[in-house]
Amino acid sequence: MQLAKPITPEKIKVLEMYPVVIKFLLSGFFTVSFIYQVKAQDNSPYSRYGLGTISPSTNILNRGMGGITAGYNDPYTVNFTNPASYYSFKTYQEQRTKKATSGRVILDAGVNFGNRSIREANNTEKFSSGEAYFSYIQVGIPLRNNWGMSFGIRPVSRIYYKMARRELLYDPLTNLPIDSALTEFKGDGGTFLPNIGTGFAIKNFSIGVNVGYMFGRKDFSTKRFLFNDTIAYKNANYETKASFGSLFYSAGVQYKINVNKITILTLGAYGNLEQKIRAREDIIRETFVRSETTGDVGIDSADVKKDIIGRIVYPAQYGFGFSMEKSATARSAGWLLGVDYILTQWNHYRFFNEVDEVKDNWELRLGGQYKPVSSKKYFSNVAYRIGFFTGPDYTYVGGKKLNQYGITLGTGLPLANYSRLSGQYTTINIALEYIKRGNNSNIVKENLFRVSVGLNLSDLWFGKRKYAE
């Protein structure tokens, strides 16, 4: 019988390359989706108001549980909504000296794919459009025991709508049709927030803060075409372009209560104060011609005002909630339940000192997670999530409230680590969301089905490896 050859450091590196290659390919997919936005565009007329359609403000793991974040923390994911959770990023200590020898660094990224359908009230015809866009990318780093930091970028809101209206124009004296008209309404833009934050804990109390730079743009245009058999009208374009950007601050706290050895109740709160964002605006009133080869080309400017300096008032937001978690053991399953309540003061929103059709809104989020007793079977190591949220949307078109609710399902799928010598741990988080906005009392009803996929990759850094001879 031959003795097995000892594993050399070179062979160890080869073994560890397999999980690294798989994770590199997955992380590359998320990075490319961030740099090159997928061309599919959703079409929501409600994105015309305020800052547009608000993007999900939580990571994909939490989104599978209805979006609960106030009392949630986890050493394997980044809860960027409440920076007080950053304290949970894990460090490992040498038992004899109690000094940190390594830390678990986290890469958390996600993309969204969805289908939105809109229809007028009491109308069976509907319009559907797809969407695919980057959700967030975030890095979590433990600095010391009970102290961590995070940085990344995420979208805050998205603007995209394109609609057309055809109509007949009537002579006011004879009430007979004289001309036909086509009006096109189009909007584009969005808001992004790169940020960096830190959070630390003193005993059972933790506090954290995020600092970022909120920036974006809004481009709204209304184009008018008149048609007549004998008169050639010029086409008119009424367009407003705005860009904005300023520092942005948010903060959060958490308090942990040990119910027993395996059950923890965590109370949490987070939010931001009202903030003013510097903005610059161009107002364009012009005639143009449309060409199939060159598109719309301006002819004559009737009125152009450029570089108008102003401010956008971004409203204060406050979130409160709790989560209760029982850890899984060798004999019993683990579970988590949570509730969040969020209030946003959109009544204070201003765009160059002008009010918009938005109102204060609230949102209630409920969610939970179940982890079976771990075994060699793959699905006993999978996390199962469910959630629900409800509350009026912040848009208030035509003086009518726009109710919305959503149902969510989620799962966390761990990837096998082919090297036992590595501290790498990777999970693919998936969230399914069905969101309904509006009813027959509103001008337009919207249904959105969204699938979000997140890559959660972590590895031990800063540690020194030793190879036995």
Q: Where is mean pLDDT largest: 20-24, 50-54, 89-93, 172-176?
A: 50-54
Which pLDDT score, from 0 to 100, does residue 9 have?
Answer: 42
Which pLDDT score, from 0 to 100, does residue 387 have?
Answer: 98
pLDDT band at 460 (very low <50, low <70, confident <90, very high): confident
Does pLDDT of 27 surpass 60?
no
Q: Give 318 or 445, the one with higher predicted confidence.
A: 318
pLDDT one-digit tens code per residue, 418-435: 544 457 888 999 999 999
* Average pLDDT of the residues in 424-447: 90
Residues across the chain:
469
The burial class, CB within 10 Å (0-12 / 13-18 / 19+), for 356 is middle
Does pLDDT of 120 surpass 60?
yes
Q: Give 172 or 69, the one with higher predicted confidence.
A: 69
Which pLDDT score, from 0 to 100, does residue 265 have?
Answer: 97
SS (HEC) of the chain: CCCCCCCCHHHHHHHHHHHHHHHHHHHHHHHHHHHCCCCCCCCCHHHHCCCCEECCCCCHHHHCCCCCCCCCCCCCCCCCCCHHHHHHCCEEECCCCCCEEEEEEEEEEEEEEEEEEEEECCCCCCEEEEEEEEEEEEEEEEEECCEEEEEEEEEEEEEEEEEEEEEEEECCCCCCEEEEEEEEEEEEEEEEEEEEEEEEEECCEEEEEEEEEEEEEEEEEEEEEEECCCCCCCEEEEEEEEEEEEEEEEEEEEEEEECCCCEEEEEEEEEECCEEEEEEEEEEEEEEEEECCCEEEEEEEEEEEEEEEEEEEECCEEEEEEEEEECCCCCCCEEEEEEEEEEECHHHCEECCECCCECCEEEEEEEEEEECCCCCCHHHHCEEEEEEEEEECCECHHHCCCEEEEEEEEEEEEECCCCCCCCCEEEEEEEEEEEEECCCCCCEEEEEEEEEEEEEEEEEECCCCCCCC
* Average pLDDT of the residues in 195-214: 97
* Average pLDDT of the residues in 324-349: 94
Residue 87 CA, chain-centre distance (Å), reads 22
Contact 381, 413 (CB under 8 A): no
Domain ranges of the chain: 9-461
Residue 382 CA, chain-centre distance (Å), reads 24
Which pLDDT score, from 0 to 100, does residue 1 have?
Answer: 35
Which pLDDT score, from 0 to 100, does residue 180 have?
Answer: 87
Q: Give 230 or 464, the one with higher predicted confidence.
A: 230
* Average pLDDT of the residues in 72-89: 95
Measured CA to CA in angstroms, residue 289 lies from 38, 180, 187, 220, 295 at distances of 30, 18, 19, 18, 8
| Lowest pLDDT segment from 114-123, 313-322, 420-429, 441-450 | 420-429
Which pLDDT score, from 0 to 100, does residue 34 have?
Answer: 46
pLDDT one-digit tens code per residue, 139-181: 999 998 999 999 999 999 999 988 888 888 887 888 877 788 8
pLDDT one-digit tens code per residue, 217-240: 999 999 998 887 777 788 899 999
Write down the mean pLDDT value for the chain.
85
Does pLDDT of 121 surpass 50?
yes
The burial class, CB within 10 Å (0-12 / 13-18 / 19+), for 433 is buried
Q: Does domain 9-461 have CATH number 2.40.160?
A: yes
Contact 302, 286 (CB under 8 A): yes
Q: How far apart are the first and last CA of the chain?
A: 23
pLDDT one-digit tens code per residue, 276-316: 999 999 999 998 888 877 778 888 888 889 999 999 999 99
